[in-house]
A and B are shown apart, each in its own frame.
Chain A
């Protein structure tokens, strides 16, 4: 019922043309403005921050209770288990918090205002930046907690950071457009996990194996193919999102 008047307005404006007449610099400026706005409102409510950080902390503690005792031998299998546990914590925390950007707009009924204020691509880029910032924080907190509590010893820190960053990029690029999709549906948070998980299986497999390699000391050369695959996935998802986001935004 609410959607129909909005759609009529959309037809008159024709978003594709609006984008072309604006220019790249203004587009990016609008995206940055949306990012700053989201950051500011997040710092006021701290909803996503609390959800992500507390989730990461409880996951790390729960894992540490199980496998954190001294005397675990550092076999290849143990490294793989550690990195799988790390990525499980990251994945579920991300699935908890990353849909926030769009769901929040829907809940406070500011979607229409945002639609008037900025072109679709800027909205997407702004939200993506916000999700990337959240993931940066999440990656840092979770891996620090794992290093401290689960006694994860990182053999080659640079490779470890790169795999985490590339995996985070994959998470953000694949889920941002899904957050926009589920903002319009019912059972939002459950649906978000259902939609996101199948898309995240390929990068997860690569990221888990890549992280396990970086925990060993000769990591960089071994982890490079994993990083490359993750980046390729992130780029594909990003480009697809740029092309498809317009349709989500119009719907």
Chain B
């Protein structure tokens, strides 16, 4: 009975993932500015989520192993680390491809890129440690200690991320709903920072209901600048023109105008902002997260069982000889 349920679950996960893959290309609409490359987030975000979850589960089972000393727990910890490593590689590669398409660079030491790189290093170190200890009990215990010890550094990666986030490329406010990205309020003649770009509001002109802001945008390192003129409709209360930052697909948008103080609220907007407002995309995205999580747990279970069987066989061999 349990076997049949496992079979069914396996088939369901396979069909589900296949469905997500099809929906990624057929159901999700293209969004402006990104073309087909934007579809990759349906794969990228869930794999990144699974890779962090796998790391947490590995640390959890390592803790259980240290507490109870049962080999099965170590099998689960190792299986979680191994499948988590696969997902981490997938998340890194899909992210790098997307980064190249959208921002023109594969790698930028963005805070999230730094943390996923550290995650890859930790997994690699864990496997290196495991392969260099011969005694089985000792290998299990020491790698469990390292796994927990490494997991403790993760909050610090998240904690220090804001310190280096001046140069972030990740569109925090574009893709993740509920996260805030306030932008800046500028009066005419004042300077400010948007992401890593310096912006200066040169002038505000009103023609009918439409307000045009002349904004000078300066590249990081002060090399090269351009004047952009985003516009805003005061009557309808929304942005009209969203010019792109030079050389990027991010656009500059006016989010509000206050004519009494002669100031505007400027913000940076990624292509595909409001993407998840679209129901079809949102459901495909959620389905993908669910599918990948289920896939991970299935892989975890299979690999851990296999490790258990291997261990039992090795012990029987040892007992015979």
B129 part of interface (Cβ distance < 8 Å): yes
Main secondary structure of the interface of A (DSSP, over half): helix
A199 pairs with B150, CB closer than 8 A: yes
| B142: contacting residue among A205, A232, A251, CB under 8 A | A251
A244 part of interface (Cβ distance < 8 Å): yes
B144 part of interface (Cβ distance < 8 Å): yes
* Interface size class of chain A, counting residues whose CB lies under 8 Å from the partner chain: 35 or more
Bound CA span A41–B175, Å: 59
A198 pairs with B133, CB closer than 8 A: no
Chain A residues near B128 (CB-CB < 8 A) = 191, 194-195
Chain A residues near B21 (CB-CB < 8 A) = none
B25 part of interface (Cβ distance < 8 Å): no
Most chain A CB neighbours (cut-off 10 Å) among B132, B144, B156: B156
What is the distance, in angstroms, from B123's C-beta to the closest C-beta of chain A? 9
Interface digits, A197-234 against B, CB 8 Å rule (1 contact, 0 not)? 11101110110010000000000000001000100110
B121 pairs with A197, CB closer than 8 A: yes
A198 pairs with B163, CB closer than 8 A: no
B118 part of interface (Cβ distance < 8 Å): yes
B138 pairs with A206, CB closer than 8 A: no
User: Assuming A187-B132, A191-B129, is B138 touching A251 (CB within 8 A)?
Assistant: yes
A120 part of interface (Cβ distance < 8 Å): no
- Given A178-B149, A206-B160, A251-B137, 8 more pairs with CB closer than 8 A: A185-B129, A191-B128, A240-B152, A244-B149, A247-B144, A248-B145, A251-B138, A251-B141
Interface digits, A162-187 against B, CB 8 Å rule (1 contact, 0 not)? 00000000000000011001101111
What is the distance, in angstroms, from A177's C-beta to the closest C-beta of chain B? 7
Chain A residues near B135 (CB-CB < 8 A) = 3
| B145: contacting residue among A3, A181, A194, CB under 8 A | A181
A117 part of interface (Cβ distance < 8 Å): no
Chain B residues near A186 (CB-CB < 8 A) = 132-134
Bound CA span A7–B69, Å: 14
Bound CA span A182–B146, Å: 10
Question: What count of chain B residues pass the 8 Å CB interface test?
Answer: 31
What is the distance, in angstroms, from B128's C-beta to the closest C-beta of chain A? 5
Bound CA span A198–B125, Å: 8
| B138: contacting residue among A184, A195, A197, A237, CB under 8 A | A184
CB-nearest residue of chain B relative to A197?
B121
CB-nearest residue of chain B relative to A196?
B125
Chain A residues near B114 (CB-CB < 8 A) = 201, 205
CB proximity to A under 8 Å, residues B62-108: 66
Chain A residues near B153 (CB-CB < 8 A) = 198-199, 202, 233, 237
B239 part of interface (Cβ distance < 8 Å): no
CB-nearest residue of chain B relative to A193?
B125
What is the distance, in angstroms, from B302's C-beta to the closest C-beta of chain A? 27
CB-nearest residue of chain A relative to B140?
A251
Bound CA span A207–B32, Å: 41
Chain A residues near B145 (CB-CB < 8 A) = 177, 181, 244, 247-248, 251
A250 part of interface (Cβ distance < 8 Å): yes
Chain A residues near B142 (CB-CB < 8 A) = 181, 184-185, 248, 251
What is the distance, in angstroms, from B47's C-beta to the closest C-beta of chain A? 20
Our count of residue pairs bridging A and B at CB distance below 8 angstroms stands at 100
What is the distance, in angstroms, from A167's C-beta to the closest C-beta of chain B? 13
CB-nearest residue of chain A relative to B111?
A205
Chain A residues near B118 (CB-CB < 8 A) = 198, 201-202
What is the distance, in angstroms, from A178's C-beta to the closest C-beta of chain B? 8
Bound CA span A205–B133, Å: 31
B132 pairs with A191, CB closer than 8 A: yes
What is the distance, in angstroms, from B274's C-beta to the closest C-beta of chain A? 33
B124 pairs with A194, CB closer than 8 A: yes
| B149: contacting residue among A194, A205, A232, A240, CB under 8 A | A240
What is the distance, in angstroms, from B168's C-beta to the closest C-beta of chain A? 14
Bound CA span A84–B163, Å: 16
Chain A residues near B202 (CB-CB < 8 A) = none
Chain B residues near A182 (CB-CB < 8 A) = 129
CB-nearest residue of chain B relative to A185?
B132
Bound CA span A28–B133, Å: 32
Chain B residues near A201 (CB-CB < 8 A) = 114, 118, 121, 157
What is the distance, in angstroms, from A179's C-beta to the closest C-beta of chain B? 12
Q: Which 5 pairs from chain A and chain B are nearest by CB?
A: A198-B121, A251-B141, A202-B156, A185-B132, A198-B122
User: Can you name 18 A-B pairs with beta carbons within 8 Å?
Assistant: A3-B135, A3-B138, A177-B145, A178-B149, A185-B142, A198-B122, A198-B150, A202-B153, A203-B156, A205-B114, A205-B163, A209-B164, A232-B156, A240-B148, A240-B152, A241-B149, A248-B141, A251-B137
User: Assuming A205-B160, A237-B152, is B137 touching A194 (CB within 8 A)?
Assistant: no
Bound CA span A89–B179, Å: 39
